Amino acid sequence: MMKNRMCKLLSLVLAASMTFSLETMPVLAEEDDDSAVYQLEESSLDADELETISEDTAVLNTAKDEASTAEKDEAAAMELDVSSAMEPDEAFTLNLGGSLSWDVSSGDVIWVKVKAGNYAKKKTHIKVSVSGVTAYISGFYDLDNARSGSTFNEYNNISDSLLFPIAWRSSYYYFKIVAQGSGQMEVTGGTAAKEPELPKVDDDFCTNEALALYNTDILSVLEGMRSIRDNVLNQSSYGRQMSDYYYSISDTIVFEVLSDSAFRADMIEKADAFMPVIKEFVAISHGQPTGYVLTEDDYENIRAMKEELFSKLGDKDRTLGENLWNKLSLKDFVGRPFKEVVDDKVLTEASETDMAYCECMVYYDGDADIASIVSKVNDVLESNGINASVDYRESENLFGTDAKYVLEVNGFSDEDIIKDILTASNIFTDVEANYEVKALTNDVSYKYEWNLKNKGQKIPTRDKNGNEKKVAGKKNSDIKFENMKKYVGKQKTRKVKVAVIDTGINYTLADFQGIVDMKNAYNYISNNNDPMDDNNHGTHVSGVIAAKNGNGYSMAGICADAQILPIKALDANGSGDTDNLAKAVKYAVDKGAKVINMSLGIRRSNGDPVMPSECKEVEKAFKYAQKKGVTIVVAAGNESKNNLSYPANSKYTISVGAIDNKDKLAYFTNKGKGLDIVAPGVSIASLIKNGEVAFLSGTSMACPAVAGVVAQMYAVNSKMTPKKVAAILKKNSRDLGTKGYDRKFGAGCVNAYKAVIAARKGK
């Protein structure tokens, strides 16, 4: 991947100066192994996987033929004229443990394909390396993605050696190799078995760099982007606010750039159109302005790019961006030197209200037009000394007949104050704050899943100061998964639908094939049926619950009978609101979920908890779920408080705290009145959206451990109810801390084995 990563090219979109960067997962430490195809070991597989076994056996039986094909491809490759670009459909077969070579010139494009399925049980990654000539390598998990150029930035244009996870059940993985010099280039195929790692947060990959991978003009100004950030943007509060804003939306934008070729092409075209402005901005950052004058075309190109970018964002992010754009007043500078924009706007000090924003949900039963009512709201706020503008959007009233709207308050950030003022005004029949909801963070990697089987293995973790270290666990400090699995294997079970209300799921991964309810999946952020994860959180949570057992890929989930219903109610930044949360809960119940996992929480900005009485719509949805026999499992929160976050403090939920691999309370977990149970939540290995297995920590990781056990309880006994589930979990937990119930560990650590046996017996 490109070194010395520079950000902030698209800063020019929102102020001719808004910055863009993205923290990415690193490529993990490698372990080379160019071993040949091995024989499948005996494995206990369910009936659903017999077809898979047959396919893999066929692959192994034809391995010799594949090697022969690769040898022929190698011979042909030596004679290939690669002066023109290849297409993925013309890819050469690269045998793992073998190599191909060509005489190339700079800019030549070569495609190779690798069949990796027969390595899944022993290795975690394919390794493709280039020697002789420097080259960029990109990896794709199937032919369609290779044709469209859609991949994750971690596997896009990596210099000389690429590790690509064996996480998709595809006939071939495809690799694009772009020569950066002339001479003989050799491409080698191998495998690696690598440990999961903790995510790192010090390696930036930004939108301008993502675009630069596809456009040399953007690449040519990349080096100047850091000086724009450091010498201009960071010199004023307004500039810093624009930088902070992009940090908050960068996941969404980079994901779209790398995954949507049409969007990427449009962004490149628009960026090219105002390249003179970009170059002038770089010159200004170096103290060498040329006097370039902003043209009408420049303004229109920047505005058009802004509109295209904002179309990819949620309501709140789009509103905040519009606030910053409006403050810039860029159109007023057409016909004037661009340096005046920087001097008069970018370098001015911003007021505290520039980024202030909050929302409230309001209900009314009258016939008055909502626009006239909003006008009254503005007057009421002004009379209370609040200088803010109010907009609105319609929303669904899930449990009543009154009209419901979400009021968007620009210029003020405390939704509780707005709620109190509007309640006292008697304009509406009811008012609720629309609080922000936040995500709380014999398969090949099974040995790292200490939460399922703790042998005392060392697991990497971070302490509260961020220091990384490996910690040996306490033997048998786990959820008793293996005993549960043996017991369940002798029982008659049924499929159980588990709704995961989160950031979505990467449903293309091998471990999720056949277990995701795509027919009923829903995305409340984009209001469509595509729940693709653009964050990592939802994929990781879903993996803990239900990643396919025994298929050799990646990891093992807890409940082999679970079907995941992904409901995306959190955006690329892991944020959502209580309006969509209530909708998601009711939707899950109506679509047949028996278990709902909510690894998320709500708190006020000052750290105080939000109470159930303040989230009436969500509480109504919870009550609705309980009446329908649906159990809701919720994370306790990660603020290290002596009280639970909402909705863990709701009487309708099972609240879950986190422990480490020594049975110690995790330093970050909330505790206190109402805590029901704890589960492993420190350095939990599970899948993330790019196919890697990563260690993540949080009550978000503890919550799905309990949800997976609850799903298995329903699978052995369809007559389970939320009250029975809660009673069985607590009665059969592994006691920790003070004997009996306490507010640190609740009833103790979930014991999957005992809980499922008790559920089967109905007591």
Could you tell me the two tokens for 221?
A: 């100004």
Establish whether 236 is a catalytic residue: no
Contact between residue 556 and residue 45 where contact means Cβ atoms under 8 Å apart: no
**What is the dihedral angle through the alpha carbons of 69, 71, 76, 80, rounded to the nearest 10 degrees?**
110
**Rounded distance between C-alpha atoms, residue 611 and residue 661, angstroms:** 32
Contacts of 587 (CB under 8 A, 6+ apart): 522, 567
Contact between residue 283 and residue 231 where contact means Cβ atoms under 8 Å apart: no
**Residue 677 bridge partners (DSSP):** 656
Contact between residue 518 and residue 507 where contact means Cβ atoms under 8 Å apart: yes
Q: Which one-letter amino acid corresponds to residue 31?
A: E
Contact between residue 177 and residue 130 where contact means Cβ atoms under 8 Å apart: yes
Q: Within 13 Å of residue 357, how many CA atoms lie on the same side as its CB?
A: 18
Q: Which one-letter amino acid corresponds to residue 748?
A: G
Instruction: Determine the straight-line distance between the first and last CA of the chain, rounded to whole angstroms.
Output: 56
**Rounded distance between C-alpha atoms, residue 254 and residue 572, angstroms:** 10
**CB burial readout 641-662, b (16+ within 10 A) else e:** bebbbbbbbbebbbbbbbbbbe
Could you tell me the two tokens for 519?
A: 């027919």
How large is the C-alpha radius of gyration of the chain?
27
Contacts of 1 (CB under 8 A, 6+ apart): 154, 157, 158, 159, 205
Bridge pairing between strands 357-364 and 430-433: antiparallel
Residue 123 C-alpha from the chain's centroid: 25
**Rounded distance between C-alpha atoms, residue 676 and residue 653, angstroms:** 9
Q: Is 127 exposed, middle or buried (0-12, 13-18, 19+ CB in 10 A)?
A: buried
Establish whether 125 is a catalytic residue: no
The sign of the CA dihedral 52, 57, 60, 64 is negative
Contact between residue 289 and residue 280 where contact means Cβ atoms under 8 Å apart: yes
**Residue 433 bridge partners (DSSP):** 360
- 3-state SS of 151-188? CCHHHCCEECEEEEECCCCCCCEEEEEEECCCEEEEEE
DSSP state at residue 665:
B
Integer CA distances (angstroms), 585 to 252, 471, 622, 650, in order: 24, 38, 7, 14
**Rounded distance between C-alpha atoms, residue 576 and residue 438, angstroms:** 6
381 phi/psi in degrees, rounded to 5: -65, -40
Choosing from 125, 259, 537, 554, the catalytic residue is 537
**Rounded distance between C-alpha atoms, residue 515 and residue 537, angstroms:** 18
DSSP state at residue 197:
B
Choosing from 502, 533, 561, 663, the catalytic residue is 502
Choosing from 542, 697, 700, 733, the catalytic residue is 700
Q: Which long-range contacts (CB under 8 A, 24 or more apart) does 214-221 make?
A: 214/264, 214/268, 215/268, 215/271, 215/272, 217/272, 217/275, 218/9, 218/268, 218/271, 218/272, 221/9, 221/275, 221/278, 221/279, 221/282
**Rounded distance between C-alpha atoms, residue 571 and residue 537, angstroms:** 10
**Rounded distance between C-alpha atoms, residue 705 and residue 750, angstroms:** 8
The catalytic residue positions are 502, 537, 700
